[in-house]
Chains A and B, each alone.
Chain A
Amino acid sequence: MVGIVSYGSYIPKWRIKVEEIARVWGEDPEDIKNGLFIYSKSVPGPDEDTATISVEALRNALSRKRINDVGAIYVGSESHPYAVKPTATIVAEATGFSPNITAADFEFACKAGTAAIQTVMGMVKAGMIRHGIAIGADTSQGAPGDALEYSASAGGTAFIIGEKDTIAEIKATYSITTDTPDFWRREGQDYPRHGGRFTGEPAYFRHILETSKKIMELMKTKPEDYSYAVFHQPNGKFPSRAAKTLGFKESQIKQGLIVPYIGNTYSGSMITGLSAILDIAKPGDRILAVSFGSGAGSDAFHIEVTDGIENYPRENAPDVWKQINSGKFIDYAIYAKFKGKIKMGE
């Protein structure tokens, strides 16, 4: 059965608090915190981008289990450092998998990483490759003063997918895709635009709820059959509401709900929550993992943790909550400098 052989995440060190962003734009921080259920977000250093985050996430996965027989690397992101020159080429070179490998970049707003997982699952199942690497990572953009500035953050997670010696089996995956204009960024534009309230019901909730219900129907499961559930996290409120609507309890989503402290890491969002769950999961645990990408689509995964996790050295790389809790806070001026928001002279 195809599944996860190893995994690793990387979250940049820097953080900014909601109070600090609200102070600059004259907004009420309590209003934002209550509205979005976000307290702080991660900020990439000026020398970090999607390629460096992907490499560090994959190195963490490899330090838990060094796999050499890898046939594919796919990197999903909406903030690839080059418009033309794949991030996957840099990741393959920096981790020693180049040149005997196929590689490409994926793009589907916040679900490009799960699209990459599905692709390598198919290749492994078809016998084309023994192992495949799927990464979701982003250094996402929010226009200064826009609501997105409170959430758009940075981070990523890498999965090594294979059939042998898995720590968790992916028993099923189910997707839906529609043309929904809830969030977009035109070619050459620095910042994305969104449809405000339209990003809720017809976009996030419609897709997430439908894929979740369909995969549970497919697997003949109910919410109480899962130890954990993790949904895409554009803010803290949406996944909490989706979980409640579906019948999941807070105790099932708490471990994977990382957005209140690091913000929305876009392509890294749901999968970094999944990584936090794998950090503590036990054999037999069932996990429902559901991504959402604007535009729009959703990929759901029914995952079952195997006995393989018992001897798997999770301690060889820092776990997600340890990375979340070791952040360093910066003010808006340093944040603006790090994010390149200050107009420089020649």
Chain B
Amino acid sequence: MTIPRFWREFEHRYRLIGTKCPSCGRVYFPPRDVCPYCHRESVGKMQKYELKNTGKIYSFTVVYQDIPDFKELKPYIMAIVEMDDGPKITGQIVDASPEEIKIGMPVKAVFRRIREESPSGIIEYGYKFVPI
């Protein structure tokens, strides 16, 4: 990811800031500029919304694939987390082994390193999830 793009996405990567449609009240994450249900009604009116950091596991998979940035974490768990505010978010589950994970398990978002550009490059931080 380029530095400018990473920097532009701090709000939602660091703090789970999504958007809320003032017309129907639906919450979106990542943020959307237009509500797909309310269309023109929502244009220019979408509000920033900080999601609660809790949710539950909607589905998950265990990744054994050799991906350079995630080699130390292998095997790692990728899940779709249904947040308490509604949106479903894809994220990594950490501090747990695959056999501990169950669908429906409550989790909370934590702040972790995602990857680094290189040993001298920028460190990219963002959300991951841990069981609670």
A-to-B contact residues, CB < 8 Å = 13-14, 45-49, 51-52, 55-56, 59, 81-82, 90, 93-96, 328, 337-338, 340, 344
Contact = CB atoms under 8 A, between A and B. Distances in A.
A192 B110 CA distance: 30
Nearest to A91: B111
A56 B50 CA distance: 17
B110 A94 contact: no
Contacts of A46: 72-73, 113
Contacts of A94: 14-15, 111, 125
B10 A47 contact: no
Nearest to A95: B15
Nearest to A337: B72
Closest 10 CB pairs of A and B: A46-B72, A55-B111, A47-B112, A94-B14, A47-B113, A13-B95, A52-B111, A52-B112, A94-B111, A337-B72
Contacts of B43: none
A141 to B, nearest CB: 16
A200 B117 CA distance: 41
A68 to B, nearest CB: 13
Nearest to A344: B71
Contact of B94 (A47, A90, A93): A47
Contacts of A13: 95, 130
Interface in B94-112: 94-95, 110-112
Interface string B1-28: 0000000001000110000000000000
A93 B113 contact: no
A88 to B, nearest CB: 14
Given A55-B111, A56-B110, A96-B15, A338 B72 contact: yes
Contacts of A59: 111
A48 B72 contact: no
A47 B92 CA distance: 11
Contacts of B50: 96
Contacts, number: 48
Contacts of B128: 47
Given A47-B73, A93-B14, A82 B112 contact: no
A55 B73 CA distance: 21
Contacts of A51: 111, 123, 125
Nearest to A90: B125
Specify which of B72, B73, B94, B128 lies most central, judged by the most chain A CB atoms within 10 Å of its CB.
B72
B123 A48 contact: no
Contacts of A82: 123
B114 interface: yes
Contacts of B10: 93
Contacts of B71: 344
A13 B71 CA distance: 20
Nearest to B92: A47
Nearest to A326: B95
A14 B15 CA distance: 25
A91 to B, nearest CB: 9
30 contacts: A13-B95, A45-B94, A45-B95, A45-B112, A46-B72, A46-B73, A46-B113, A47-B73, A47-B94, A47-B113, A47-B114, A47-B128, A49-B123, A51-B111, A51-B123, A51-B125, A52-B110, A52-B113, A55-B111, A56-B111, A82-B123, A93-B14, A94-B14, A94-B15, A96-B15, A328-B95, A337-B72, A338-B72, A340-B72, A344-B71
A340 B95 CA distance: 17
Given A13-B95, A94-B14, A94-B125, A49 B72 contact: no
B106 to A, nearest CB: 14
Contact of B113 (A48, A56, A96): A48
Contacts of B72: 46, 337-338, 340
A94 B94 CA distance: 19
A62 to B, nearest CB: 11
A63 to B, nearest CB: 9
A49 B15 contact: no
Contacts of A328: 95
Nearest to B109: A59
